[in-house]
Amino acid sequence: MRILVVTSQPPYPPHQGAAARNLNIIRHLAATHEVSLLTLVPTGHDWTDHGPLSALCASVTAVPIPPHSALKRVAGIFSSTLPDLALRHRSRAVQDAFLRLHKKNAPLIEPKLANLEKIWGAVGTNVDAVFVCGTDFGTQTSAFCSVATLRELYAPYYKAVNDWIHAHTPWKTFKHSCGSVERFYESFIEAGFDIINPVQCSAAGMDPEMLKRKYGSRLVFWGGGVDTQRVLPFGSAAEVREQVLQRCEIFAPGGGFVFNTIHNVLPEVPPENIVAMFEAVREFNGA
């Protein structure tokens, strides 16, 4: 397998924790995979000592990032919806480096489609839906990339996989992405995804009524049933029941809804809240 490792600083020399961790990750991956490294370095920093990376990696690409003063970083935090890490590393040079590596690795889709054919031959109609990708594109308040970036770097490959599945199998295709990702829904639909998960209604721009109205006829919502950040772990059983019934009333009409918690049920969740969740679903279904 070809793996692209992206680091926000050179992994060598391992002069502090993050660099040492990244170097060890690369060393472990390189034992069985072809690793390419894209690392960001401060402008003016002459990084020539790659140490063991030259032998471990098929390619090592260092990209300068523009300097950012503390004042500029603080201003960016309050004036932009992008995370601080994205603002600091945003540059044309970084974008161009990604595009070069993207084009280099584009032919890798063919082995993936061949694998799908083998999986279909082995599994057949024993399954109804397949989990295609779990890459998270959203944060609590924003996204990790622009819609244009997703369309250029991800969507063509998603579409190739989904098109093959829809042409050769009855399977439905499942896309997971946490966070504020409504901005990507049209792209997911165009790429051929049938199911979206986990429908994080607690993130910015993820109002459940709006999602159902705009996408309910084109996407199956697998999730969104109850908030696992606040309501399920910290609310009362009555509050859990209220939200579950409300979400079912929003998402269920017309079909296209598989009830599920927004994300994993954590160990701290009171058992009575889990019971209240299941009982509320049964109540909605008239059981």
Which pLDDT score, from 0 to 100, does residue 47 have?
87
Q: Are residues 134 and 172 in the same domain?
A: yes
Which pLDDT score, from 0 to 100, does residue 44 have?
77
Q: How many domains does the chain have?
A: 2
Q: With beta carbons less than 8 A apart as the criterion, state whether 193 and 207 touch.
A: no
The 3-class secondary structure across 227-252, one letter per residue, is CCCCHHHHCCHHHHHHHHHHHHHHHC
Which pLDDT score, from 0 to 100, does residue 244 have?
98
CA atoms of 242 and 252, how far apart (whole Å): 15
Which pLDDT score, from 0 to 100, does residue 207 have?
98
Q: Are residues 68 and 166 in the same domain?
A: no
Tokens for 281, please give them. Answer: 């679903």
Closest CA relative to residue 39, chosen from 73, 9, 2, 68: 9
Q: What is the CATH number of the domain that holds 156?
A: 3.20.20.210
Domain of residue 32, residue span: 2-106
Q: Which of 50-64, 184-198, 220-234, 267-281 has the lowest mean pLDDT?
A: 50-64
Which pLDDT score, from 0 to 100, does residue 182 have?
98
Q: Are residues 79 and 125 in the same domain?
A: no
Q: Are residues 95 and 134 in the same domain?
A: no
Q: With beta carbons less than 8 A apart as the criterion, state whether 219 and 256 touch.
A: yes
Between the ranges 28-37, 79-88, 236-245, where is the mean pLDDT highest? 236-245
Q: With beta carbons less than 8 A apart as the criterion, state whether 26 and 53 touch.
A: yes
Asked if the peptide bond before residue 52 counts as cis, ω within 30 degrees of 0, the response is: no
Q: What is the mean pLDDT of residues 148-166?
A: 94
Q: Are residues 157 and 246 in the same domain?
A: yes
Which one of 106, 138, 167 terminates a domain?
A: 106
Q: Are residues 18 and 131 in the same domain?
A: no
Q: Are residues 65 and 122 in the same domain?
A: no
Which pLDDT score, from 0 to 100, does residue 70 have?
77
Which pLDDT score, from 0 to 100, does residue 107 have?
63
Q: Are residues 89 and 176 in the same domain?
A: no
| % of the chain surpassing 70 pLDDT | 96
Closest CA relative to residue 136, chosen from 212, 197, 62, 211: 197
Tokens for 38, please give them. Answer: 């894209």
Q: Are residues 40 and 99 in the same domain?
A: yes
* Per-residue model confidence as pLDDT tens digits over 62-114: 988 777 777 877 777 777 766 666 776 777 777 788 778 777 766 678 888 99
Top pLDDT among 48 and 11 is at: 11
Q: Are residues 152 and 264 in the same domain?
A: yes
146: number of CA atoms within 13 Å, CB side?
6
What is the CA 59 to chain-centroid distance, rounded? 26
The reported pTM is 0.77
Mean pLDDT of the chain: 91
Q: Which of 83-97, 130-144, 186-200 has the lowest mean pLDDT?
A: 83-97
Report the largest interatomic distance among the alpha carbons of the chain, rounded to a whole angstrom.
Answer: 68
Dihedral sign from CA coordinates of 274, 269, 140, 146 = negative
Between the ranges 35-44, 86-95, 219-228, where is the mean pLDDT highest? 219-228
**Is the pLDDT assigned to residue 191 strictly greater than 80?**
yes
| % of the chain surpassing 90 pLDDT | 72
Q: With beta carbons less than 8 A apart as the criterion, state whether 130 and 165 touch.
A: yes
Q: Are residues 17 and 78 in the same domain?
A: yes
Q: What is the CATH number of the domain that holds 33?
A: 3.40.50
Which pLDDT score, from 0 to 100, does residue 106 have?
67
Q: Are residues 254 and 125 in the same domain?
A: yes
